[in-house]
Amino acid sequence: MTPWDPSAEAGPPGQSVPGRVRIQTEPVTPIQPLPARNGNATKFARESVFEIRDMAVYYGDSQALGWTSLDVYEHLVTAVIGPSGCGKSTFIRSLNRMNDSISGFRIDGQVLYHGHDVYGAGVNRVEVRRRIGMVFQKPNPFPKSIYDNVAWAPRNLGMRDELDERVERALTQAALWDEVKDRLRDSALGLSGGQQQRLCIARAIAVEPDVLLLDEPASALDPIATASIEELMHTLKHRYTIVIVTHNMQQAARVADEVAFFSLDGTSRVGTLIEYADTQTIFRSPRDTRTRDYVTGQFG
């Protein structure tokens, strides 16, 4: 794994920092078979990509997320589930500092990424977002060509060598290449919703991130496009670590290896991590009755 480089000079998001960004060129870490772990994360042999320790998030005076501690493991799909307003988006957006620009946002505790504090002094936010990419609920392609959408971030980050190959690779990984290779110069806005979302995934992976954060990436899509995004998760996790927010229990059960269930604490109404375990445990034998009620649809 390329070492984190907090000493890289900070610059505003989206601004070009040529020469300061190193492209990860190492071969992908081979997938190890999943060891049995009896629901105990400490027995897990995989490397932790994130170690989240006592993270609490506030917007102004209001606390959105309670003290949350969990590890996110490499090359797994970790699903974040829970009722509306329980802090799922707040949680994943805190992993790549996407909340920084929200006025009143404050975070306590630590978010360690490969052992380095994402919120540490001198950490370059551009570099954080290059390594930890994000895709949102609603496909949001730029009003540019398909090619320029995918080439946008590499160009901004000074990754101009072999750009055509980079664009093709990202579109291939996002399972979109065959559908668009003959119309790369056409507007991205002419693609279907499902194609637009795969384009946004291609745009995120064009800079070769380490982690993909997906906030309800299929909720605006029809069942066929949803199925193609889910299939994509299975392929992409061999290369990336994926954290996905979803409201869809079947989807979580189909795509996730690990599931974190958040809910609103009864009295304080603060988003709280209730249970975090492998998918089978969460859906078949959850330890907490609140998890069971939620996954069986008896919530509320």
Ligand X SMILES: Nc1ncnc2c1ncn2[C@@H]1O[C@H](COP(=O)(O)OP(=O)(O)OP(=O)(O)O)[C@@H](O)[C@H]1O
Nearer to Mg ion, 80 or 295 (CB): 80
Q: Please give the full DSSP string across 247-278, using - where no structure is assigned.
A: S-HHHHHHH-SEEEEEEE-TTT--EEEEEEEE
Which span sits near Mg ion by CB under 5 A: 81-89, 123-131, 199-207, 271-279?
Answer: 81-89
Residue 288 DSSP code: S
**Per-residue contact flags (x/-) with ligand X for residues 31 to 70, judged by CB under 6 A:** ----------------------------x----x------
- Please report, as a single letter, which amino acid is at residue 110: Q
Report if residue 90 touches ligand X, rule: CB under 6 A. Answer: yes
State which of positions 91-120 bind ligand X (CB under 6 A).
102
**Per-residue contact flags (x/-) with Mg ion for residues 84 to 103, judged by CB under 5 A:** -----x--------------
Neighbours of 27 (CB within 10 A): 5
77 binds, among ligand X, Mg ion, none (CB under 5 to 8 A by kind): none
Considering CB under 5 A, how many residues would be counted as binding Mg ion? 1
Nearer to ligand X, 63 or 173 (CB): 63
176 binds, among ligand X, Mg ion, none (CB under 5 to 8 A by kind): none
**Per-residue contact flags (x/-) with Mg ion for residues 41 to 80, judged by CB under 5 A:** ----------------------------------------
Smallest separation (angstroms) from ligand X to the CB of 76: 21
- List of residues 6+ apart from 139 with CB closer than 8 A: 193, 196, 197, 199, 200, 220
Smallest separation (angstroms) from Mg ion to the CB of 30: 34
d(CA 122, CA 118): 10
Which span sits near ligand X by CB under 6 A: 15-23, 81-89, 250-258, 287-295?
Answer: 81-89
Q: What does each C-alpha distance from 141 to 132, 146, 193, 194, 214 come to in angstroms?
A: 18, 9, 10, 12, 15
The two tokens of residue 158 are: 């000074």
- The residue ranges of DSSP E strands in the chain, in sequence order, are 48-59, 62-73, 77-81, 105-113, 116-117, 132-135, 211-215, 241-245, 258-264, 271-278
For Mg ion, the binding residues (CB under 5 A) are 89
For ligand X, the binding residues (CB under 6 A) are 59, 64, 82, 84-90, 102, 271
